[in-house]
Structure formats: C-alpha cells, structure tokens
Amino acid sequence: MSPQKSNASPVGTPAAEGRRRRARRSPEYRAAQERLVPYEAIARFVIQRRAELGMTQEQLAERMGTSHSAISRIEGGQHQTSVATLQRLAEALEVRFVMGFESGSPDRPVRELVTA
C-alpha cells in the first residue's frame, strides 16, 4: 500500500491563518489583538516612512538619540510608545505629530486634533 498524500504544508500553518483560528477560539486573544491595533498601525507607518527616506533602523535610532532595539520594538507593533517618543519619531521621520480626541457616534465622529 502506498502512503496517503496529505494536503498539509511541510512548513506548517501560515501565521495569519493561525492568528485567525486562535482569535475565533479565544476572547482573551481577540482582546489582545484589538489592543495592539494602534501600535501595529504606527509600526506600518514608521516602516513605510523610513523606507521612503531610505533609512535603516540604525540611522533612525541615531536621529532620535535612541537605540536600534527601541526602533525594532516600535516597528514590531507589539509595545506601547510614549507621546514623547512619538514626537521624537515624527521629527526624525520629517513629519508632524498629531494627536486627537473623538466624540460623538462612531458613524459620525467629531474629531479634535492637536499638533505637537
């Protein structure tokens, strides 16, 4: 008898698929994912802007007066970043840092933006 063929990937489950499956099963995991959404958005922006400027993580860290590992953590999107760090990051990336508050209903929010 010949062995049955498996449809399983030899490298395992793609990470995104694994995250979706785990989120369906665990409310705690979903809550943690939702908590990280803003940090992941910051990470995507930093990576994109740094690439536009043709800078390495080391060069960005030097501009900010911080360590390469600090930039790596920001770009990892898994950690909180202080307002002071975001301000220094904006300056190093040659953009303006803007914070905001939102009130009203989710479908018609009223936004107040503050530049630093």
Domain ranges of the chain: 25-115
Residue 102's φ and ψ, nearest 5 degrees, are -135, 135
The confidence score (pLDDT) of residue 8 equals 52
Measured in residues, the chain has a length of 116
Q: Nearest-5° angle of CA 70, CA 75, CA 78? A: 90
pLDDT at 17: 80
Confirm if 106 and 90 have CB atoms less than 8 A apart. Answer: no
pLDDT at 10: 58
Report the topology of domain 25-115: 434 Repressor (Amino-terminal Domain) (1.10.260)
Residue 60's identity, in one-letter code, is L
Angle between helices 27-52 and 57-64 (to 10 degrees): 90
Could you tell me the mean pLDDT of each successive run of 10 residues in the chain, 116 residues long?
53 74 78 84 96 97 96 93 95 96 94 88
pTM of the model: 0.72
Residue 103 in tokens? 């009130």
Query: What pLDDT score was predicted for residue 103?
Result: 96
**Whole-number pLDDT of residue 34:** 81
